[in-house]
Amino acid sequence: MKLAVIGATGMVGEVMLQILSERNFPYSELIPVASERSVGKKVVCGSNSYTVVGLETAISMKPDLALFSAGGSTSLEWAPKFAEAGTLVIDNSSAWRMDPAKKLIIPEINANQLTSSDKIIANPNCSSIQMLVALAPLQENYGIERIVVSTYQSITGTGVKAVQQLENEYKGEKGEMAYPYPIHRNALPQCDVFMDNGYTKEEMKLVNETRKILNDNSIGVSATAIRIPVVGGHSESINVQLKKDFDLAEIRKLLSESPGVIVQDNPETNTYPMPIYAEGKNEVFVGRIRKDESQDKTLNLWVVADNLRKGAATNTIQIAEYLLQENLI
């Protein structure tokens, strides 16, 4: 199988190449693709080195599968061109997520929606993925009435420019700014741009993607997204009101048996998820599991995951693995 990775020189693209190697993803030919300024550069996947090509060249090479992580505008323009050439596209940008004709997939939750007629498949937003991997088992067993979530998001979600800004600020050096304010020793209650309703685009992704992935437009979602000077992953404080009452021991058992979830929850030993431990791992970590004593049928959770892995590259590759397993590609 010919496999193209679009955005191979970016932060998520580099992690995709690592994960393809780690998981021994079966390809006969790897085509790393990036913008014109990166054409001719070398990238590494496993023990092999590959030369970056441009988008037009990549289409002419007729890959069977293309993993896109090159931003929304590139995906809007180029994903249909690859699809028209017979390439199956899994897109990691926001371009196609809310398109009613496109599937928005987290393999642990709704991969069974996929069919051979899907030509462009959308990968959800990083903060949506980790939240829903933790909450989908609760929706299935208890039903969800309402979610209130605050996210504490790694600068790696913004990209290389943000990492450079933080490193410059560590050293006390001036440089290009990814954010409107310093991020070192700070917390910015803004991820992405503000919308007319006063929420940011990131916050509304959590609202809209939750309803689409869980296939339930009645779920209330209120989100606040905060950027913090952390590198290893996103953290989320989640308050979830269920439709049925629950026993905490049952919730812990349910989550610990759910695919893709690792429960880390022991107050006696100060055991709980943290980005420093989630970094480089593919699972979603859940802890601080407790009843909300102010409201019936309501639960508090703390959820952490590596946003470049399960929040982006790993989820994309898991979709591809499912397609192969089900002979859909």
Catalytic residues, which ones?
A: 126, 234
CA distance 155 to 137: 29
Helix (H, G, I), strand (E, B) or coil at 303: strand
Q: How big, in percent rounded to 5, are the helix, strand and coil portions of the chain?
A: 35, 25, 40
CA distance 221 to 314: 25
**Structure tokens given for 100:** 């009613």
- Amino acid type, 95: A
> Do residues 304 and 233 lie in contact, with contact meaning Cβ atoms separated by under 8 Å?
yes
The contacts of residue 148 (CB under 8 Å, 6+ apart) are: 222, 223, 238, 239, 240
User: Three-class SS string for 228-248?
Assistant: CCCCCCEEEEEEEEECCCCCH
- Provide φ and ψ at 215, rounded to 5°: 55, 50
DSSP calls for 135-151:
HHHHHHHT-EEEEEEEE
Sheet holding 2-6, edge to edge: 29-33, 2-6, 65-68, 88-91, 120-122
- Provide φ and ψ at 60, rounded to 5°: -65, -20
Helix (H, G, I), strand (E, B) or coil at 278: helix
